[in-house]
Amino acid sequence: MKLNANVALTLVLLTLMFGAGLVSAAWGFALGRQALRGITQPDVRPTSKLVGRDKNKPLRREEVMILKEEDILKRVKGRIEGKDKAEDAPAKKDRNKALSDGASSDSGSKTAIAQPGFPVVGRDQDVSLEVDTVQKQGGSLLLNVKMRNEGKQNVRFLYSFLNITDQRGRALSATAEGLPEELPPASGPFSGTVSVPMSLLDGADKLSMTLTDYPEQKLQLKLSSIPITR
């Protein structure tokens, strides 16, 4: 009798669970249907618009307008020509700016060359050495020099023989850059620089420079009273 009661209780529980499942499913279906009410699948058929269209109403011109090949070519040509003109304008502007900048730089270089007291020239026989400008760059004083050989013989130089002193006779270390080791006959000018550390120029107002050829040492190029610009 006890076993039958357990079986009956189990059957009742299973029945209640099954009924609760059915109620939950029905309730969920009803909620989903209500939520999707009014939502339809979009019509993507290309001819759907033509089906409901009034046959007596003509199509809009924009929908059936076809351009001629000549018109297309004219439009493309016009756009290309317009683009070329638009690109030419900034190009001309850049060229004019470059020319003006070049003119400005030329005038600036002429101003830099026209320093008072320059050029300072030293000459022996047919060879000359001159200092055109002096300027400060970083921690050095740069002497812009030019060399010419108007003679008929090659002239060689060893710039370790270059000697620079101030107005009190103090010897100063210097470095030559860009100057040729050999001057061919009837040649020049050859440009270069001679740099002197600014730390060695304390109290100096003027410089002197001497240079001789190598190995003969027949030439004595001397420059004196080179102004120092600070």
Half-sphere exposure of 41 (CA within 13 A, CB side): 3
Positive or negative torsion for Cα 170, 175, 177, 181: positive
pLDDT at 216: 86
Span 214-225, average pLDDT: 90
Q: Is 61 left (phi over 0), alpha (psi -120 to 50) or beta?
A: alpha
Assigned CATH topology for domain 120-227: Immunoglobulin-like (2.60.40)
pLDDT at 5: 79
pLDDT tens per residue, range 44-73:
555 555 555 555 555 554 445 566 677 777
pLDDT tens per residue, range 91-128:
555 655 555 555 444 444 333 445 778 899 999 999 99
pTM above 0.75, yes or no: no
Per-position b or e across 121-150, b if 16+ CB within 10 A of its CB: ebeeebbbbbbbbbeeeeebbbbbbbbbbe
User: Residue 193 above 60 pLDDT?
Assistant: yes
pLDDT tens per residue, range 160-178:
889 999 999 999 999 999 9
The residue among 41 and 171 whose pLDDT is bigger is 171
51, 34, 35: which is closest to 43 by C-alpha?
51
